[in-house]
Structure 1
Amino acid sequence: MVPALRKQYNEHFTKEKYDAFIKDLSNIFPDQLEFRIAETPIYIPTSFTQKMLNACESIIDVITTPAYQKQSERAIPDHLKVPNEDAHPHFIAFDFGICQNEKGELEPQLIEMQGFPTLFTWQVLLPEMHEKHFGKPDNYSIYLNEFNRESYTDLLRKIIVAEAKPENVILLEIFPEQQKTRVDFFATEQFLGIKTVCLTKLIQEGKDLFYMRDGQKTKVERIYNRLIFDDLFQQPKEVQEKGRIFQQELNVTWVPHPNWFYRLSKYTLPFIDHPYVPETKFLNTVTTLPADLENYVVKPLFSFAGQGVIIDVTKEQMEQIPDPENWILQRKVQYANVIETPDEPAKAEIRLFYFWEPGAPRPIATCNLARLSKGKMVGVRYNKDKEWVGGTFSLFEQ
């Protein structure tokens, strides 16, 4: 992305420095880092950053309209609707692929978006440890809009903890000790002082929820929700039964409210018309299949981590989908082999974090994570036995 910085970084990279970096990184929360960390960050020039932000702001223009609020009601499955929904999401994550257009120019293309948290606190620690071992260009930062470590974590605390005491706020997951992203739960506990609680450990008394903290039954006032219903429905019946609390009237505040997981998702893409958002249609609205079907991908609306995606689409596969209203047909984007590495170049995705401060008219871009890939799909599970792939971060030119 920035040739001079890429050349300099690669020339000074050594396996010994990388191994020392990973050792120190792994020791922050021993035995909790379960996904691969890439060997390099991504350097993003201002012009490319502005293209991503322009797309995000255009999407926010759409999703903040009353019309979209009404249209997106259908995005929430009836049996999963949660009471007391907020007027807007607390968080939005926008995933952009670094792509090549028909002229061979690099441009962002939106792959997905979600009204749901991601690795917000881990992405503070990862770049700091990387800088300790590899340094960082002076005029580059992981943050956007002049945020820094202090202001970023202050805003995160303001949204998640708000006026409550940290002991009355929990991070909710299903079997958190089994989650591949659990290192972020530990980082969240460190930054915010809140505890991670498994759904099965909640105690319900009428409309109130409690959990055991240091041997004391403690009231839950706010829930930083990291639980995804797809994951819940893969659990035994007795665990799923505990999930019924989501559909009940409770004396808790959800952060973010679970309905926004569905309102802001792949479901949103067909409503967006922007040069950096690939053409997307609900499958049930497609009357004639494109002649160049090989240039499209089919995705289920309600899944995560790339599960269920059909990359090499055939007419026969399309006809076998029983619920086309729950799928989208999206034009493929051409990922650029943009990150030079010692062997083959890597593709990249950048996830921008948007936080919605209480009382603010719009959310604001704050920070990021990134992923490098050499496989058909971006994601740790699709890049086994490869190097210079995995989780990383972008450094934006300031």
Structure 2
Amino acid sequence: MKRTSLFALIALALSGATVAANAQSYDNWYVAPRIGAVAPDSDRETKISPLVGIGIGTWVTPNFAADFEYSINNGDNKTASRAAWEARGLNGNKQWESVWLDVAGRYFFGEQGAQWRPYIVGTVGVVRHAGFSFSPSDSPVDVTGAIVGHPTRGWDPAASLGGGVQYNLSDRLAFRGELQYRFDRDNNSIPHHTGFGDAIASLALVVNFGGAPTPPPVAPVAPKPPVASCRDKDSDGDGVNDCDDKCPNSPAGSVVGPDGCPQSVVIDLRGVNFKFDRPNTAEKNIGPTLKEPSAESIAILDQAVDTLKRYPNVKVEVDGHTDGVGTEAYNQKLSERRAKIVYDYLTGHGIDASRLDGPKGFGKDKPIDTNKTAEGRQRNRRTELTVENQ
């Protein structure tokens, strides 16, 4: 094949491959036209010659590629004179042509997406040498002046080792620079000489084809801030969330029901009556100080505890009272003891002391019934819870 024809083929492949590469995306196969030079074994008696070729390859793994390659180089003899060749006992090749077919394996180092990737390469294949030779007994020219001689040609096995580096311009285009040493078991070029070692340097343009490209990494999407629910809001601070609050503008500190609307809270301790002159200064347990049946009075106190727990915003004043029997000073102390024993009952059953004002004693100053009858005096011996901040 003429070198000009192969150059034209490579140019066509490059132009077509470049258009295709712009329309497709790289997955696992490519074409690789290349140019270079062959520095032949000195025993060949040929000059350094240009090399052109093309390869078709596939990515077997992200780090290994296999290629089928075709290359050609034409070399001139170092000595064109027949006499000089005869003097050295050699046949005279006027032009030396070499066609190289091989299968190459390249192992790349580094990540597939890296810009620079060094690699090692090994090939096995065959080389066909062709030339024109004459023996010393031949007449060098005929009567027309044309060279007289015998064509020499043949295929010989060859293998090479080398290394290179690939520069990735994009996912589809790359350059390869490569150096190889090729052993060629050539027994056609020079009679009685078998095996030559050639050095080969080349530069290739790699055009990748096929499949879908590796998608670029997707930037993590910042999570959207959670949308606040009305169940997480209490705009008026009444302890009822906005979803359930039917009175969204309740005054701060007001007592509200489950629907968020203001509610009047009454804690009635009527029925919690004390025995005469009880509790005394040593009594801490409220039960024995209450009028029989004391269980009824305890039940009323427990209802008060439950009410206070259901309405955590409610604060109460704990007030103690007496009947009219006895001195004012004595009744004052007795009313304070009655307020204190109820106060202790409430705190002992889970009501925080910060919600209780007192205990306070009012002696016999605020009767609710007459002190002239036993029944009236019994009703006056009491403790009350007065609701604040309504």
For normalisation by structure 2, the TM-score amounts to 0.20
Q: Which structure has more helix as a fraction of its residues?
A: 1
For normalisation by structure 1, the TM-score amounts to 0.20
Larger Rg: 2
